[in-house]
Amino acid sequence: MERTPSALIITLLTDFGSTDYFVGSVKGVILSINPHVTIVDLTHEVASFSVAEAAFLLHSTYPYFPKGSIHVAVVDPGVGSDRRPLLVHAGGFYFLAPDNGILSYVFRDIPNYQCVELTETKFHLPARGNSFHARDVFAPVAAWLSRGTPIGQFGRGSHHPTTIPLPAPRHTDNALEGEVIYIDRFGNLITNITKNDVDHCGPRDQLTITIGDARCRGISRCYADGSQDAPSTIVNSSGHLEIFFYEGNAAHHLHAKIGIYVTLTGR
């Protein structure tokens, strides 16, 4: 059986925050099994229980790591239930996550993948509980995987993993309608309208973007070209249309929340 290439990087993405012992104990388990691995915190500030937010953040970060990296993503309101713990090999990366849709963007972007349900308990902590599988299941499996254990040894093949809806922009009369899918710490509103969508709507300086009662004309080249008094837009470095106030908080100014509609119209 082909061995998994030994990995030096394990990333962690959770909704655990930094107040409790959760993140520290996950790292302790990993380092007890493989003290040579590098652990990278993607974030532990995902909104509590928000699988959709975790899925987007994972999608926005994992491609920038070396192939062979192991990404552990745990936002797990169903921990201890019948939901499956999964190990997925896709696009040269490894993903460990509950089967609750957190890997939806991965499955969309990389349709050819290998998926294993983590049924082999010898790779779990001996006293596994029902409330902390990040520590008791995902962390030890990640560590053993990083030491070169073949994927097939962790459990049985799994099919039809759970996905969540990934809203796509829709065309209406002479317009493209999208929505806000993430709000960053600066209050910038990231939409599901992509660079390709923008490019198909016409010249950027002739586009009109509407969100709620606010409207702006044209797309800025950079944040500094925006306004402090009115919303501006930019195609950000992740390829998404983003609404911002220069040195301000768009979510606060516009009373905007995830899911609010954004309309893009051309000439």
Task: Tell me the CA distances in angstroms from 267 to 16, 151, 233, one per residue in order.
Answer: 46, 53, 17
* Same domain flag for 174 and 255: yes
**One-character DSSP codes across 13-45:** EES--SSSSHHHHHHHHHHHH-TTPEEEEEES-
* Same domain flag for 111 and 191: no
Measured distance CA(224)–CA(134) in Å, rounded: 41
Of 134, 157, 180, the position where a domain reaches its end is 157
* Same domain flag for 90 and 184: no
* Same domain flag for 132 and 16: yes
* Same domain flag for 54 and 183: no
Q: How many domains is the chain built from? A: 2
Phi/psi for 97 (5° steps) reads -165, 155
| 267 residues of the chain, pLDDT tens digit each | 444 555 689 999 999 999 999 999 999 999 999 999 999 999 999 999 999 999 999 999 999 999 999 999 999 999 999 999 999 999 999 999 999 999 999 999 999 999 999 999 999 999 888 999 999 999 999 999 999 999 999 999 999 999 999 989 998 877 899 999 999 999 999 999 999 999 888 888 889 999 999 999 999 999 999 999 999 999 999 999 999 999 999 999 999 999 999 999 986
Q: Report strand pairing: 9-14 vs 38-43.
A: parallel
Tokens of 261: 């509609």
Q: How many CA atoms lie within 13 A of 86 on its CB side?
A: 29
Measured distance CA(157)–CA(151) in Å, rounded: 10
* Same domain flag for 238 and 116: no
* Same domain flag for 130 and 54: yes
Tokens of 93: 């990366």
Give domain status of residue 242, yes or no: yes
Give domain status of residue 110, yes or no: yes
CATH code of the domain containing 197: 2.40.30.90
Give domain status of residue 22, yes or no: yes
Measured distance CA(243)–CA(69) in Å, rounded: 32
* Same domain flag for 59 and 153: yes
* Same domain flag for 259 and 138: no
* Same domain flag for 53 and 115: yes
* Same domain flag for 59 and 126: yes
Tokens of 54: 């975790």
Q: Are 84 and 43 in contact (CB under 8 A)?
A: no
* Same domain flag for 147 and 38: yes
pTM here?
Answer: 0.92
Range of the domain at 230: 170-265
Of 157, 178, 197, the position where a domain reaches its end is 157
Of 157, 190, 219, the position where a domain reaches its end is 157
CATH code of the domain containing 39: 3.40.50.10790
Task: Give the pLDDT score at 129.
Answer: 86
